[in-house]
Chains A and B, each alone.
Chain A
Amino acid sequence: MFLAMLGEAWRAMGANRLRTFLTMLGMVIGVGSVVLMMAIGQGAQESVKASINAMGSNLFIILSGSFTAGGARSGSGNVSSLTVKDADAISELDGVSNVAPVSMGNAQVVFGGNNWSTSIIGTTPSYLDIRVWDLADGYVFSESDMRSATRVALVGSTVVENIFGDVDPIGKTIRIKQNPFVILGVLKSKGQSLDGRDQDDTIIIPLTTAQRKILGNQFAGSVRQIMVQATTPEIMPMVEQNINGLLKQRHNIREGADSDFFVRNLTAVANSAAETTRTMSLLLGAIASVSLLVGGIGIMNIMLVSVTERTREIGIRMAIGARERDILLQFLLEAIVISIIGCLIGLFLGISGAMLVNKLAQTAVVISGNSVMIAFAVAAGVGIFFGYYPARKAARLNPIEALRFQ
């Protein structure tokens, strides 16, 4: 019975091919644009999320403060007010999982006949944990390397490309500011940061080595910044408050006086970026949904015309024993078949379009099973919703009048 009805729907669609095609086109465009827009929106969200994850989660960065000399105020980080001891003290606070004091600068590095200027990060092994940064090869320097300020280094992939070429860097010696360093490991590629810097163009060395051999500093033990990771996002405000209190106490800063450091919540910044892309992708989806709605109204319009045209047929069917619900099912099925076929074509076009965008514009797109399922369910829903009224109109026809209809 159901199969017979499906056959009827198919035949009715075939009877007026151009009209069926045009009706379907509304659904095709609607579903296609929803899928495409969702793919682009989710792609944007994914790339932001990836950047955030690459940066590390629940992150604070503590910068040393500015100073004022002769009325000119320097920027932050120019006073060496933060020390390794501050970092040790912060690591004792509740809710802090990792702390990494960081000193950085730029230096020329040389290997064989190649040289390259890159950023040097002097830090502790926990820096890699905070940044969720793994090694592609080799191993990380140890606490004992930290204590004895050994000249060992981890290199980023951009540095490897530029000074090693095809040579395996592990165990090789490079020169940084004339000091020989043994390469212990190669960092995994991390790509661009949120602000577009190449994060792989860097060399990581033990903080102690950096302070004594490479960067130099005004007084022993001072660092440019301290990275702090909290255990959960919820306790970040509490941790921030505690860090502020602790450092003010350690730096003897009176209540109300200017601090000689700043605490920045990096995750909050990243989250607002994520929020922006989420809003954008919602907006894209909403605009595309309007075309789906218009497609649905197109189906309703054509089905209403079809019911009027086929009034006599409906009368005949009723006279030979079709119940109201048989007629209802017949027209509903026709609307659903149109919208589902339109949906399938739309899915195909939307996914192809998304792949094309990915190829041509180098934009990340994500086609999730979820968005495909939603598009399909919505299309079937549109078919039922907009097909129901015409179908009910057909089913409610008076058979005598329908038979008399010319």
Chain B
Amino acid sequence: MTKNVVQVRDLYKDYQTAAGAIAVLKQVDFSMDTGDFVAIMGPSGSGKSTFMNILGCLDKPTRGEYMLDGHQVSALDGNTLAKIRNQTLGFVFQGFNLLSRVSLLDNVALPLVYSGVSRDERQARAKVLLEKVGLGQYLNSMPNQISGGQQQRVAIARALVNNPRLILADEPTGNLDSKTSEEIMALFMALNADGISIILVTHESDIAAHASRQIRFLDGRIVHDERSSPIVNASETKEIA
């Protein structure tokens, strides 16, 4: 068990454009303890989305080092990165990003298809998680039959289905009203209390206030890093399903 779930050192990301290279991330250093709950804030174009994409193994840094759960990932190939996304990370998006033609149960079970889990076990694990997020009665419903808040709960269940080390949530409350946002944040806090590490990107400071630690990006650098409360549960991450 490593103490740091994420360790980023001297990270740079450049984009090539017609006007030349644009530096989006400049010398970012960041480390995060296992079990921590970090909120990333910053204006549009500050580099926070690019940072999330790199943390999520969807993008590669131009330079620098990224250790995830004790493993060097900045130099891995596509298949290995896919495996990390599948088994070490869980994604929650602003637009929920459920498959519209697929039942909630199969949506939650989808990551297990790519880890080669048998059908029966996929269904069983997905069912447990849907019940955990309070949607046990909607197993065979379609995403368009439930509300936005409920869809985001399904997406969280999907992110949890493979027992990830880290949840990456990109503006998970951006499309929700304030009451539903509170419910979703309560769910995240409960998960964090179970020992799951969470990184959350948000525009809203009251949402960020739910996290234990707040970081602010500006022009590709971390300009603000503050701990508002201690890590809730620094012990080893519990098995979810």
Note whether A and B form a binding pair: yes
Complex alpha-carbon distance, A399 and B79, angstroms: 13
Q: What number of B residues sit within 8 Å (CB to CB) of A?
A: 27
Question: Across the interface, do A319 and B91 meet the contact criterion of CB distance under 8 Å?
Answer: yes
Question: Across the interface, do A11 and B101 meet the contact criterion of CB distance under 8 Å?
Answer: yes
Question: Across the interface, do B56 and A319 meet the contact criterion of CB distance under 8 Å?
Answer: yes
Q: Which residues of B contact A4 (CB under 8 A)?
A: 113, 119
**A403 with B97, Cβ < 8 A, contacts A318-B82, A323-B82 known:** yes
Question: Across the interface, do B158 and A399 meet the contact criterion of CB distance under 8 Å?
Answer: no
Complex alpha-carbon distance, A319 and B99, angstroms: 13
Size range of the chain A interface in the assembly:
20 to 34
Cβ of B83 under 8 Å from chain A: yes
Complex alpha-carbon distance, A399 and B89, angstroms: 15
Q: Which residues of A contact B101 (CB under 8 A)?
A: 11-12, 15
Question: Across the interface, do A320 and B102 meet the contact criterion of CB distance under 8 Å?
Answer: no
Question: Across the interface, do A321 and B97 meet the contact criterion of CB distance under 8 Å?
Answer: no
Question: Across the interface, do B58 and A399 meet the contact criterion of CB distance under 8 Å?
Answer: yes
Cβ of B183 under 8 Å from chain A: no
Q: Kindly identify, within residues 304 to 341 of chain A, every residue whose CB is under 8 Å from any CB belonging to chain B.
A: 312-313, 315-326
The binding surface of chain A is classed by DSSP as helix
Max chain A C-beta neighbours (<10 A), residue from B58, B98, B162: B58
What does the 1/0 interface line of B53-65 toward A look like (CB < 8 Å)?
1001011000000
Option from B59, B87, B98 in Cβ contact (under 8 Å) with A321: B87
Cβ of B114 under 8 Å from chain A: yes
Cβ of B220 under 8 Å from chain A: no
Question: Across the interface, do B86 and A321 meet the contact criterion of CB distance under 8 Å?
Answer: yes
Residue ID in chain A nearest B111 by CB atoms: A320
Question: Across the interface, do A320 and B119 meet the contact criterion of CB distance under 8 Å?
Answer: no
Question: Across the interface, do A400 and B114 meet the contact criterion of CB distance under 8 Å?
Answer: no
Cβ of B93 under 8 Å from chain A: yes
Complex alpha-carbon distance, A319 and B56, angstroms: 8
Question: Across the interface, do A312 and B82 meet the contact criterion of CB distance under 8 Å?
Answer: no
Option from A3, A313, A323, A399 in Cβ contact (under 8 Å) with B114: A323
Least Cβ–Cβ distance between B60 and chain A, in angstroms: 11
Question: Across the interface, do A320 and B110 meet the contact criterion of CB distance under 8 Å?
Answer: yes
Residue ID in chain A nearest B101 by CB atoms: A15
Cβ of A1 under 8 Å from chain B: yes
Cβ of B20 under 8 Å from chain A: no
Q: Which residues of A contact B85 (CB under 8 A)?
A: 318-321
What does the 1/0 interface line of B189-210 toward A look like (CB < 8 Å)?
0000000000000000000000
Option from A319, A321, A403 in Cβ contact (under 8 Å) with B83: A321
Q: Which residues of B contact A322 (CB under 8 A)?
A: 82, 86, 114
Q: List 15 A-B contacts (CB under 8 A).
A: A1-B116, A11-B102, A316-B98, A319-B97, A320-B110, A321-B82, A322-B86, A323-B78, A323-B79, A323-B83, A325-B79, A326-B82, A399-B58, A403-B58, A403-B93
Q: Enumerate the 4 nearest inter-chain pairs by beta-carbon distance, A residue then B residue, closest first.
A: A321-B86, A323-B82, A321-B114, A320-B111
